[in-house]
Amino acid sequence: MEPFNNIHALIIDMDGVLWQGNQALPGLTDFFQTLYELEIRFILATNNASLTPQQYTVKLARMGVTVAPKDILTSGMATALYLAEHTDPGDTRVFVLGEDGARQPLRDRGFTLTGLYEVNNSGSNTSHKGADIVVCGKDETLSWDKLATATLNIRAGAKFIGTNADVTLPTEHGVTHGNGAILAALQAATGVAPIIIGKPEPIMYQQALALLGVAPAQTIAIGDRLETDILGAIRAGIRSLMVLTGISTQEDLETSDFQPTWVMADIRALTHALRSQHLSMEPY
């Protein structure tokens, strides 16, 4: 296994790494205290697009951790940035199947959000102009009407974007369905496959590296999923560390075609490794 050294910045997943649902994982406060004490830069980069950075800071505060909104990057934010780089926000209408974390970044970039049953369809009974793009993120208020509106817009020619394709989500109740399950339903109804922005695509990691301003060789990605966090890091050309507190297991590692650079039990083990690394590292 590669020596655990030359680590000056972290790109950290949240669900399954820092918490499960609303339950903090053991060692959470000590982990962040260590990052601040050792002056290790970090970005919390999550595929979960349900919350805004401000809402994530509130969630972390309830768990005893202080983090600035600028240190958080969600797949909703990554999606809004990607679309702003590839379209004209002022002339683009978007229907969002998702929560504040998917909707607000699009508003912030200047996109117009459409409502239920606003569809470019000659058979529609509405006079409203439909969406040019459908964005689908995790949505705990998912309804028939939302799915129907997304389906109608995609079938009418709207581009189909998924903030992420995680088919499962670790919660305090156990593993449940993720955004990928919703994408699968829409793909089945429309015959159109979504463009995915979140991990394992390298887009989010590339955006996080730009925010950190640290060389990829001095950065590692922390995650709990082989098929998203770890594969995304490999595609982005950075080292990775998998913790065993989320979705992927030791058994999954034994059958995987790709591997993380390191595997640790949890963030407590990572905290210990970071402190040990700091004692032997050269000044940055």
Check whether 100 is labelled as a binding-site residue.
no
Q: pLDDT tens for residues 104-120? A: 999 999 999 999 999 98
The reply to whether 166 belongs to the active site is: no
Please state the rounded mean pLDDT for residues 183-200. 96
The reply to whether 13 belongs to the active site is: yes
Residue 250 has pLDDT above 90, yes or no: yes
Residue 282 has pLDDT above 60, yes or no: no
pLDDT at 126: 52
The domains found in the chain, sorted by start residue, are: 9-47+199-280 (3.40.50.1000), 76-196 (3.40.50.1000)
Check whether 71 is labelled as a binding-site residue.
no
The CA–CA distances, whole Å, from 46 to 52, 144, 250 equal 11, 27, 22
Check 13, 71, 132, 266 and give the catalytic one: 13
pLDDT at 284: 44
- pLDDT bin (cut points 50, 70, 90) of residue 21 is confident
Check whether 139 is labelled as a binding-site residue.
no
Check whether 229 is labelled as a binding-site residue.
no
Q: Give the list of residues 6+ apart from residue 10 with CB closer than 8 angstroms, or none.
A: 35, 40, 41, 42, 43, 219, 220, 221, 222
Residue 267 has pLDDT above 80, yes or no: yes
Q: pLDDT tens for residues 73-86? A: 999 999 999 999 99
Whether the CA torsion 13, 16, 20, 21 is positive or negative: it is positive
Q: What is the pTM of this model?
A: 0.85
Mean pLDDT of the chain: 92
